[in-house]
Amino acid sequence: MSMLLLGVGAIELKDKDFHEIRQYVKQNFGISMGEEKRTLVFSRLRPVIRDKGFADFGELLEWVRTDKSGDARTLIATRLTTNHTFFWREPEHFELLRSAVFPWIEQEFSHERDLRLWCAACSSGEEAYILQILAQEYFENKQGWNIEILATDISEKVLAQSLQGVYSKESLAALPEGWLKKYFSPYDAQNMVAKDILKKNITFRKFNLIDEKMPFKKPFHVIFCRNVMIYFDGPTREAIAKRFAGVLHKGGHLFIGHSESLSTMNVGLQYVKPAVYRR
């Protein structure tokens, strides 16, 4: 039997506990965790055992099974979903957005002038703020356009970070100096904070991508869901992609991560280029 141990009188991650955690994560969040994630599960959940005063992973799992408040579910999601991103990640997508997608939206929806973007699994907010910058830069001098950006994530912790809008200068390093001055203010020696002009059109909301119901009244012109579906199994990815297609305008674009593909799935989306699809 394999297990992880740490220190004297160590806490063990037994096979049966690891199996139950994997089942819980798959059922509740749609994320498939292989044996290679055992160390990650141990390192991220052991502090919870310590902080809660539990004796072992068995007591942690009992709390997860019996908790009715939702606190356990939220904590597990926060601990076990990976939240690592930075500004201007995979820049080819942003270049396509402002060179081709925004001009198409401007032409096709000139009568509505209502731009709707969804940043799904927004993590700590960097991508949502980049979308706001690009939309603001493109549409700010085009009269009457309304910009709405929905940014969702399953983790309340990263949503709180997004709302605060404080980022390290290192994570902002790829942005032009003009954007930094226009959209960010100094926060302390190592960090900057998003100005109100950057936050004004973004709504941050908790949402689980495996929920079957998409509670949105209006369709989106663009959806970004990058480097997230790689954690789901094939059927879950296909179901999510179909739901994305269902809430996109005809001709609307879905951007996924470059390590992801929908090419073998019949989800109602046409391939445009690597990691870009169109309804």
Spell out the residues 6+ positions from residue 89 whose beta carbon is closer than 8 angstroms to its own.
Answer: 126, 127, 226
Q: What is the pLDDT of residues 16-74, one digit of tens each?
A: 999 999 988 888 777 778 888 888 788 889 888 988 889 999 999 999 889 888 788 87
- Amino acid present at 268: G
Average pLDDT of the chain, as a whole number: 88
**Tens-place pLDDT, residues 157-204:** 889 999 999 999 888 988 889 999 999 999 999 999 999 999 999 999
Band (250; pLDDT cuts 50, 70, 90): very high
CATH architecture of 15-80: Orthogonal Bundle (1.10)
Closest among 44, 40, 72, 77 to 59, alpha carbons compared: 72
Q: By C-alpha distance, which of 266, 258, 207 is closest to 234?
A: 266
> Could you tell me which of 57, 232, 40, 254 has the C-alpha nearest to residue 154?
232
Residue 234, pLDDT > 60, answer: yes
Q: Which of 174, 13, 11 is nearest to 3 (CA)?
A: 13
| CATH classification number, 91-278, choose in 3.20.20.70, 3.40.50.300, 3.40.640.10, 3.40.50.150 | 3.40.50.150
Listed by start position, the domains of the chain span 15-80, 91-278
Which structure tokens are listed for 201? 């059109």
Q: How confident is the model at residue 81 (pLDDT cuts 50, 70, 90)?
A: low
Q: Which spans in the chain are helix H?
A: 15-29, 38-52, 57-66, 71-80, 91-96, 102-108, 126-139, 156-164, 177-183, 196-199, 234-246
For residue 7, pLDDT beyond 60:
no
CATH topology match: 15-80 vs 91-278? no
